[in-house]
Homo-oligomer: A and B are copies of this chain.
């Protein structure tokens, strides 16, 4: 069986597209044609979101290798939201997409194992193990050190899954901790990058990258370049493209020979039908066509910068 990172890279090469579509739905993102079809109670709203997600998947799965549902946008709708999260992940997998759940969990020992078992592996229920979400990849927070990461790595080995560890995030205040200068002249995020190298060394696949990968924001180009050098075997999950200001040419600094990262876009893809670029071409009811058009535009922009 191929390594999780090999499967992801295969998909990226097959679609010739280093994009992951973020699925971070909020009620106000839904087009009127969906809003008007469903009620406004939480069950109906989540059904509307699920239809929205499925339609976006239907219209992109042949050209986009992966989706990244941000679990907070489902958790915020309570139990119904979690059902919608589960169904969204299942549907994307059925369509052949790699599913990266953005959960950013960070805890220790049996607690970290609980999260890992839930999302990547299996939980002991009564006298047998059960799989609840069967997701391909999750994101993990490194603040607690290896105690928080090891249970995930064990499940990566056991169930052939992958993790992206937060190294340098794309947000404005990411530097408050991550950029702190250490006594040896390195920054905290550089130190985390070195830890990620160590943690991932047993899971390097055929392309030379590890299934213990990293999150590296698109908004800090110099740092992308530097982190590519520190972590030559780490595939990057790159948030911050578009809306947050990350440019294709900056992102290209994390790539080598056309490989090295997968770039997330959420709102710019999901709400393409509302954007200045596409709103005159596609109606509200053609929201998924707008998403497809924007996906192709983004793919071509990324590819011309990367290649």
The answer to whether A171 and B144 have CB atoms under 8 Å apart is yes
B118 with A78: CB separation less than 8 A? yes
B169 x A24 contact (CB < 8 A): no
* Chain B contacts for A176, CB-based, 8 A: 145-146, 195
* B127 A40 Cβ-Cβ under 8 A: yes
Whether A166 is near chain B, meaning CB under 8 Å from some CB there, is: yes
Copies in the complex: 2
**A130 cross-chain contacts in B, Cβ below 8 A:** 42, 78
Q: Does A108 contact B (CB under 8 A)?
A: yes
Whether the Cβ atoms of A191 and B177 lie closer than 8 Å is: yes
Interface residue tally on A, bucketed by range: 35 or more
Partner of A181, one of B24, B109, B183: B183
A86: chain B residues at CB < 8 Å are 78-79
Chain B residues, Cβ within 8 Å of A195: 176-177
17 new A-B contacts at CB < 8 Å, known A28-B124, A70-B107, A177-B192: A40-B126, A40-B127, A42-B125, A72-B114, A75-B115, A76-B132, A77-B123, A104-B141, A109-B171, A143-B143, A144-B177, A145-B178, A147-B171, A147-B172, A147-B173, A177-B188, A183-B185
7 sample A-B contacts, Cβ–Cβ < 8 Å, listed by A number: A26-B110, A40-B127, A77-B123, A78-B82, A145-B171, A183-B185, A188-B188
